[in-house]
Chain A
Amino acid sequence: MKRRDFIKSSTLASGAFFVPQFIKALSGFDIAKTHKRLVVIQLNGGNDGLNTVVPYQNDIYFKSRKSLMLSKQDVFALTDELAFNKSLKFHQQLFQEGNLTVINSVGYPEPNRSHFRSSDIWHSGSRSDEYWSTGWVGRYLDAGNLHNFEAIEIDDSLSLMLKGDHVSGIAVRDPRKFYNIANQDFFKDMEQQATKHLNEHNLGYLYKNLINAEESAKYVFETSKTYDNRTDYPNNNFAKQLKSIATFINSGLSTSVYYASLGGFDTHAGQRQRQNKLLFVYDEAIKTFVEDLKRNNTFKNTVIMVFSEFGRRLSENAGMGTDHGAANNVFLIGDKLKTPQFYNSAPDLVNLDSIGDIVYQVDFRSIYATLLDDWLGVNNRNILGNDVKKIRLL
Chain B
Amino acid sequence: MTRKAIMKKEEIVHLYWRAGFGISPSELNLKQNQSRQEVVRGLFELSGSMKELGEDMSDLQKDFLNFRDSKSSALRKEFITKSKDRLVKLNVSWIERASATQAVLGEKMTFFWDNHFVTRSENAIHVQKYNNVLRKYALGNFRELVRAISESAAMINYLNLITNTKSHPNENFAREFLELFTLGRDVLYTENDIHEVARAFTGYRNNLESEFDFAPGLHDNEEKTVLGEKGHFTGRDIIDIVLKKKECARFICKKIFVNFINDVIDEEQLAEITEVFYKNYEIKELLEHIFMSDWFYEERHRGVKIKSPVELLVGIKRTVPITFDNEQDYIRLERLLRQVIFQPPNVAGLPGGRNWIDPNSLLLRMNLATYVLNNSTFEFEDKGVAEDTFEAIEKKAKKRGKVFGEPDWEHFDKEFSGYNVKEITTLFISGELNTANCIELLKDKRVTLREGCLLLMSMPEYQLC
Q: Tell me, in angstroms, the Cα distance from A386 to B305 when the chains sit together.
A: 34
Cα separation A46 to B385 with both chains bound (whole Å): 12
> Chain B nearest CB: distance from A23 CB in Å?
22
Assess the A203–B393 pair: CB atoms within 8 A.
no
- Contact stretch, chosen from B38-46, B88-96, B357-365: B357-365
State the CA gap A181–B363 with chains docked (Å).
Answer: 7
Name the B residues within 8 Å of A168 (CB-CB). Answer: 358-359
Q: Known contacts being A190-B435, A193-B435, is A120 close to B360, with CB within 8 Å?
A: no
**B391-431 residues at the A interface, CB under 8 angstroms:** 391-394, 397, 400, 431
| Distance between A297 CB and nearest chain B CB, rounded to angstroms | 31
Cα separation A155 to B435 with both chains bound (whole Å): 31
Cβ of A207 within 8 Å of any chain B Cβ, yes or no, is yes
A168 to B363 CA separation, bound complex (whole angstroms): 14
Q: Are B459 and A213 in contact (CB under 8 A)?
A: no
B227 interface residue (CB < 8 Å to A): no
Q: Closest residue of chain A to B379, judged by CB? A: A177
B390 touches A116 (CB 8 A): no
Q: Would you call A148 an interface residue if the criterion is a C-beta within 8 Å of the partner chain's C-beta atoms?
A: yes
User: In the complex, A202→B306 CA distance in Å?
Assistant: 7
Task: Kindly state the separation between the CA atoms of A168 and B355 in the bound complex, as whole angstroms.
Answer: 10
Min C-beta distance of A318 to chain B, whole Å:
7
Assess A120 versus B359: contact at CB under 8 Å? Given A202-B305, A266-B386: no
**Contact residues, B286-332 vs A (CB, 8 A):** 299, 303-306
Find B384's partner among A162, A262, A263 (CB 8 Å cutoff).
A263
Q: A117-B346, A207-B460 are in contact. Are A196 and B357 (CB under 8 A)?
A: no
Interface size classification for chain A: 35 or more
> Are B390 and A281 within 8 A (Cβ)?
yes
Q: Closest CB-CB distance, B354 to chain A, in whole Å? A: 6
Closest CB-CB distance, A215 to chain B, in whole Å? Answer: 9
Min Cβ gap B443→A in Å is 15
- Inter-subunit contact A182/B460 (CB<8 Å): no
Residues of B contacting A263 with CB < 8 Å?
384, 386, 388-390, 393
CB distance from B33 to the nearest CB of A (A): 29
| In-complex Cβ contact of B351 among A133, A171, A237, A264 (8 A) | A133
- Mark contacts of A183-215 with chain B using CB atoms, 8 A cut-off: 1 yes-contact digit, 0 otherwise: 000110110011011000111011101101100
Tell whether A159 pairs with B383 under 8 Å between CB atoms, given A148-B359, A274-B390, A278-B390.
Answer: yes
Chain A residues with Cβ under 8 A from B431's Cβ?
A: 3, 203
Cβ–Cβ contact B366 & A187, under 8 A: yes
Check B434 against A216 for contact (C-beta < 8 Å): no
Does B264 reach chain A (CB closer than 8 Å)?
yes
A22 sits at the interface (CB 8 A): no
A115 CB–B CB distance under 8 Å: yes
- Flag whether A17 is at the interface (Cβ < 8 A): no
Known contacts A131-B347, A210-B460; A158 and B358 CB within 8 A of each other: yes
Q: Which chain A positions have C-beta within 8 A of B336?
A: 156-157
Q: Does A284 contact B (CB under 8 A)?
A: no
B382 at the interface (CB under 8 A from A): yes
CA distance A3 to B464 in the complex (A): 14
- Decide if B231 is an interface residue (CB 8 Å cutoff): no
Q: What chain A residues lie within 8 Å of B380 (beta carbons)?
A: 156-157
Question: What residues on A are CB-neighbors of B73 within 8 Å?
Answer: 318
> Given the interface contacts A120-B345, A159-B383, A264-B390, does A213 sit within 8 Å of B363 by beta carbon?
yes
Asked whether any CB of chain A lies closer than 8 Å to the CB of B163, the reply is no
Partner of B360, one of A44, A158, A281: A158
Residues of B within 8 A of A202 (CB): 263, 304-306, 353-354, 464
Kindly identify, within residues 120 to 141 of chain A, every residue whose CB is under 8 Å from any CB belonging to chain B: 120, 129, 131, 133
B437 within 8 A of A: yes
State which size class the interface on B falls in. 35 or more
Partner of A116, one of B299, B361, B386: B386
Contact bitstring A156-176, B, C-beta under 8 A = 1, else 0: 111100110000111100100
Nearest-neighbour CB distance to chain B for A205, whole angstroms, equals: 6
* Interface presence of A145 (CB below 8 A): no
Q: How far is the CB of A283 from chain B (nearest CB, A)?
A: 14
Q: Which residue of A lies closest to B303 (CB)?
A: A203
Q: Which residues 264-294 of B have a CB within 8 angstroms of A?
A: 264
Q: How far is the CA of A108 from the CA of B252 in the complex (A)?
A: 32
B100 within 8 A of A: no
Q: A181-B363, A181-B379 are in contact. Are A189 and B357 (CB under 8 A)?
A: no
Q: How far is the CB of A202 from chain B (nearest CB, A)?
A: 5
CA distance A199 to B383 in the complex (A): 34
What is the bound-complex CA distance between A3 and B438, given in angstroms?
Answer: 17
- The chain B residue with its CB closest to the CB of A180 is B379
Answer whether residue A45 sits at the interface, using C-beta atoms and an 8 A cutoff: yes
Q: Are B386 and A203 in contact (CB under 8 A)?
A: no
Query: How far is it, in angstroms, between the C-alpha of A237 and the C-alpha of B382 when the chains are bound?
Result: 14
A203-B359 contact in complex given A45-B386, A156-B381, C-beta closer than 8 Å: no
Residues of B within 8 A of A46 (CB): 386
Residues in B with CB closer than 8 Å to A24 are none
A197 to B381, CA, bound (A): 31
Q: Contact partner of B437 among A169, A193, A197, CB < 8 A?
A: A193
A150 at the interface (CB under 8 A from B): no
Question: Chain A's nearest CB lies how many Å from the CB of B274?
Answer: 23
CB within 8 Å for A116 and B345 given contacts A156-B379, A159-B383, A181-B363: yes
Q: Inside 8 A of B390's CB, which chain A residues have their CB?
A: 262-264, 274, 277-278, 281
Docked Cα-Cα span, A190 to B363, in Å, equals 13
A309–B386 touching, CB < 8 Å: yes
The verdict on A157 contacting B383 (CB below 8 Å), with A133-B355, A209-B359 known, is yes
- Residue of A45, A209, A309 near B362 (CB, 8 A) is A209
Cross-chain contact A201 with B304 (CB below 8 angstroms): yes
Does B436 have its Cβ within 8 Å of any Cβ on chain A? yes
- Residue A119 at the B interface, CB < 8 A? yes
Q: Is A236 an interface residue (CB 8 A)?
A: yes
**Distance of A201 Cα from B348 Cα, bound (Å):** 25
Decide yes or no whether B458 CB sits under 8 A from chain A.
yes
Please, which residues of chain B bring their CB within 8 A of the CB of A115?
385-387
Query: Is B85's beta carbon under 8 Å from chain A?
Result: no
Residues on the B chain within 8 Å of A190, using CB: 435, 437-438, 459-460
Task: List residues of chain B with CB within 8 A of the CB of A181.
Answer: 363, 367, 379
**Interface: B114 (CB within 8 A):** no
B154 to chain A, nearest CB (A): 16
Q: In the docked arrangement, what's the CA distance between A191 and B173, Å?
A: 47
Smallest Cβ distance from B391 to chain A, in angstroms? Answer: 8
Interface centre among A148, A162, A187 (most CB of B within 10 A): A187
Give bound CA distance, A180 to B363, whole Å: 11
Chain A residues near B458 (CB-CB < 8 A):
186
Q: CB-CB < 8 A to B461: which residues of A?
A: 203
Binary per-residue interface labels of chain A (240-267) against chain B in the complex, 1 for a CB within 8 Å, 0 otherwise: 0000000000000000000000111010
Does B209 sit at the interface, judged by CB under 8 A? Answer: no
Q: How far is the CA of A194 from the CA of B436 in the complex (A)?
A: 10
User: What are the 10 closest A-B residue pairs judged by CB atoms, nearest first?
Assistant: A264-B390, A115-B386, A213-B359, A168-B358, A131-B348, A156-B380, A133-B351, A206-B460, A237-B397, A177-B379
Known pairs A117-B345, A131-B346, A205-B354 / 16 extra A-B pairs, C-beta < 8 Å: A3-B431, A44-B386, A45-B388, A116-B345, A131-B348, A133-B355, A159-B383, A169-B358, A170-B359, A180-B379, A190-B459, A193-B434, A202-B354, A213-B359, A263-B390, A266-B388
